[in-house]
Amino acid sequence: MKVGVVGLGSMGSGIAQLAIEAGFETVGREVDLARAESARDTIAHFLTRKVEKGQLEQDRCDGALSRLALTTELDSLADCDVVIEAAFEDLAVKHELFRALEDVVRDDAVLATNTSALSVTEIASVLARPERAVGMHFFNPAPLMPLVEIVRAERTSEAVCDVAFDLGTQLGKTPIRCLDTPGFVVNRVLIPLLNDCVRVLDEAGVTPEALDAGMQHGAGWPMGPCALLDLVGLDVHVHASEALYEKLREPRMAPPPRLVRLALAGKLGRKSGEGFYTY
């Protein structure tokens, strides 16, 4: 199987890393070569870390990196069996990509989207053959998080779901199947729960450290909610939360003002050096 990944940001590069480690020839596409090469350097860094920790042999690291081809042209994805789109979470952007991809890939190629907040059915609606589209929602960071949600859109074929499920397994993930509902499974539960946690910060007069300790030691969470939001990125969470609220109009889905203020101030968590905590 040959895998294409469109968009090599944090999610796309993680998915590409999974694919080359699993032995798949992989084509990574970015809008310019500098971004693509930066993503390859990031992948090489993480694989080298695994070698240094004794988790990966050097020859397997070298072999994995040799399986990654970079491109700025969608035409280079023409012979891929599965193309996973990991571009910016904007419906117009994804529509443009899916239209262009359908023009270049084989008739039997599967088009997957890694969207976390948009409707897979809406994304696939611009295709002449929407039955070939499926959601493959990986979690960040993709190389470490073991889950992938296989999202069946309104017109996704059973065979395409099976291909995505099998690919998720071959990538070393635990795939679960679900229908195309807002937030799918995990985010539908987790986003309002994290929003509730942030509201408690103000209402209960508790510090982020104390709230995290409470949820870790009182509820058995492996990571506290504030630390988790910093890891995910406050801007990412706010964007997903707003998208869920737009679809469902449930108050718990709306991002709390405190989160919005932090995101607007550029305090995005680990990636900016400051969020609920300083890094």
- Supply the residues annotated as catalytic: 116, 137, 149, 187
pLDDT for 18-73, tens place per residue? 999 999 999 999 999 999 999 999 999 999 999 999 999 999 999 999 999 999 99
- Asked whether residue 278 is domain-assigned, the answer is no
* Continuous H helices in the chain: 10-21, 33-52, 58-66, 91-104, 120-124, 158-170, 186-203, 208-219, 225-232, 234-248, 257-264
The pLDDT confidence band at residue 177, using thresholds 50, 70 and 90, is very high
The pairing of strands 147-152 and 133-138 is antiparallel
Mean pLDDT of the chain: 97
Give the burial string for 17-44 (b: 16+ CB within 10 Å, else e).
Answer: bbbbbbebbbbbbbeeeebbeebbebbb
Domains in the chain, number: 2
Give the mean model confidence (pLDDT) for residues 178-202.
96
C-alpha span between 204 and 47 (Å, rounded): 43
Task: Say yes or no: 13 and 40 in one domain.
Answer: yes
User: Domain ends where: 149, 179, 209?
Assistant: 179
The pLDDT confidence band at residue 140, using thresholds 50, 70 and 90, is confident
Give the mean model confidence (pLDDT) for residues 235-242.
93
- Asked whether residue 72 is domain-assigned, the answer is yes
Task: Say yes or no: 139 and 222 in one domain.
Answer: no
Helix crossing, 257-264 with 186-203: angle to 10°? 90
- Which CATH number do you get for residue 214? 1.10.1040.10
- Asked whether residue 52 is domain-assigned, the answer is yes
- At residue 105, what is the residue type? V
Question: Tokens 């390859």, residue?
Answer: 40
Give the mean model confidence (pLDDT) for residues 160-177.
98
Q: Extract the tokens encoding 2.
A: 């040959």
pLDDT for 105-135, tens place per residue? 999 999 999 999 899 999 999 999 999 999 9
Q: Extract the tokens encoding 200.
A: 């408690």
Task: Say yes or no: 49 and 131 in one domain.
Answer: yes
- Which CATH number do you get for residue 130? 3.40.50.720
Question: Tokens 């050097």, residue?
Answer: 58
The radius of gyration of the chain from alpha carbons, rounded to an integer in Å, stands at 19
Task: Say yes or no: 155 and 265 in one domain.
Answer: no
Report which DSSP code applies to 269. B
Other C-beta atoms within 10 Å of 95: how many? 16
pLDDT for 141-159, tens place per residue? 899 999 999 999 999 999 9
pLDDT for 214-226, tens place per residue? 999 999 999 999 9
pLDDT for 2-21, tens place per residue? 999 999 999 999 999 999 99
3-state secondary structure of 276: coil
Task: Say yes or no: 35 and 126 in one domain.
Answer: yes
Domain that includes residue 37, residue range: 2-179
Task: Say yes or no: 168 and 198 in one domain.
Answer: no
- Asked whether residue 279 is domain-assigned, the answer is no
pLDDT at 117: 84
Give the mean model confidence (pLDDT) for residues 164-191.
97
pLDDT at 167: 98
The pLDDT confidence band at residue 86, using thresholds 50, 70 and 90, is very high
Q: Which residues pair with 278 in a beta bridge?
A: 274
Task: Say yes or no: 168 and 206 in one domain.
Answer: no
